Amino acid sequence: MRRVSILGATGSIGQNTLDLIARAPDDYSVVALTGAGNIPQLAADARRLRAEIAVTAYEDRLEDLRAALAGSGVEAAAGPQAVIEAASRPADWVMSAIVGAAGLAPGLAALQQGGTLALANKESLVCAGPLMLRTARQHGARILPVDSEHSAIFQALVGEDTAAVERIVITASGGAFRDWPIEDLGHATLDQASSHPNWDMGQRITIDSASMFNKAMEIIETWEFFGIDPARIEVIVHPESLIHALVGFRDGALMAHVGPPDMRHAIGYALHWPERRSLPVARLDLAQIGGLTFRAPCDARWPALRLAREVMMAGGLSGAVFNAAKETALDGFIAGRVGFTQMAPVVEEVLTRLSDTARGATEITLDNVARVDHLSRETASAVIAEKAG
């Protein structure tokens, strides 16, 4: 039996992961499940899958969680430190699916156990890619990508010489507003931005898909994880979301990964790697699909893509600044304080104001990332207040 833990079990990726695990209950022993506000889901899953421990990140929800788990024999704990401790429990395979920079410290704790970390939390790589990879190396742990594009790249590279890679192309659906006139984007509402044409995901990544901040994060994720020169990473808009990424080799071949937009594929690949096991995802009927379309991304519509390039050029802790500013701008959009098209200018302004800080602290440690993350959120809040005033 493989010992597995799911960080962010109550979210979209977490629930898809549990769906796969629950189909083969004899193969897995569930160590820890973590969540935040959704106590009923967390407790129900912990009972159903007989987890050793369930943890909510919210300190003040401990009593609720205890009550929901009463009589089940499942341990309960609460608070960010308890999430880290849960991630530190010995497990063979840990899913990192907390949303935001909050996923970094638990992911690192899991890597220190030396097992396999299935990484959905792209923010960890954007904030602290070198730290994640270094920690994995030091502890003999393995990181397997779960983001669909990165899983696709990883799969296209199996058996290949990475020196023969000429370019990596990641696809973008274009999100909710890909066909809107640019001048209407300023009026986009939260509801409109929260509905994705192809993928069913958490609210934050869905909005990030509409603004392309998600793709911006993924360019940085590709750079950090695969160690490829930024100039060799391309983005193509592919509205059908059936090709997830392509790897171009020096002989001109492009290897594409094609599959339905269902995260259970990438999660299942990371769960069963290096084997391929049968997965409950739809099989594509190519004749029925008929055709696949592509268009170049438009910088005026999606300024986040340009910002990602600037972040990679600047290096250091710029990724941590970028992510924290983006998270704060997104909080502002969700709260109705920041317009849809104001998010990128807020992030850009924070990157400008903190450019020396980001470049200065070259060593990427958890403390330095946490400090810069905090400063970037404060700066972003100040920028938002100035723009509103």
User: What is the distance between the alpha carbons of residues 223 and 313, in angstroms, rounded to a whole number?
Assistant: 11
Nearer Cβ to ligand NDP (36/77)? 36
The residue within the footprint of Mg ion, chosen from 52, 64, 147, 327 (CB under 5 A), is 147
CB of 336 to Mg ion, least distance (A): 27
Q: List helix spans (H) across 140-202.
A: 148-156, 190-193
Q: Which stretch binds ligand NDP (CB under 6 A): 119-127, 288-296, 316-324, 375-383?
A: 119-127
Q: Is 13 in the site for ligand NDP (CB under 6 A)?
A: yes
Residue number, nearest CB to Mg ion: 147
User: Residue 215 burial (CB < 10 Å; 0-12/13-18/19+)?
Assistant: buried
Residues 27-66 as x/- pattern, contact with ligand NDP by CB under 6 A: --------xxxx------------------x---------
The residue within the footprint of ligand NDP, chosen from 17, 113, 116, 121 (CB under 6 A), is 121
Site residues for ligand NDP, 145-164, by CB under 6 A, read 147
The answer to whether the Cα torsion of 103, 108, 109, 113 is positive or negative is: positive
248 touches 177 (CB < 8 A): no
In 3D space, the residue among 119, 219, 222, 214 whose CA is nearest the CA of residue 162 turns out to be 222
Lookup: tokens for 165: 């890679």
User: What is the distance between the alpha carbons of residues 317 and 126, in angstroms, rounded to a whole number?
Assistant: 9
| Distance from the first to the final alpha carbon of the chain | 58
Nearer Cβ to Mg ion (4/201)? 201
Which strands make up the sheet holding 75-78, listed edge to edge? 75-78, 53-56, 28-35, 2-7, 93-96, 116-119, 142-145
Q: Which stretch binds ligand NDP (CB under 6 A): 87-95, 202-210, 306-314, 316-324?
A: 202-210
Q: Is 45 in the site for Mg ion (CB under 5 A)?
A: no
Q: Which stretch binds ligand NDP (CB under 6 A): 5-13, 66-74, 319-327, 342-350?
A: 5-13
Contact residues for Mg ion (CB under 5 A)?
A: 147-149
Contact residues for ligand NDP (CB under 6 A)?
A: 8-14, 35-38, 57, 83, 97-99, 102, 120-123, 147, 199, 201-202, 204-205, 263
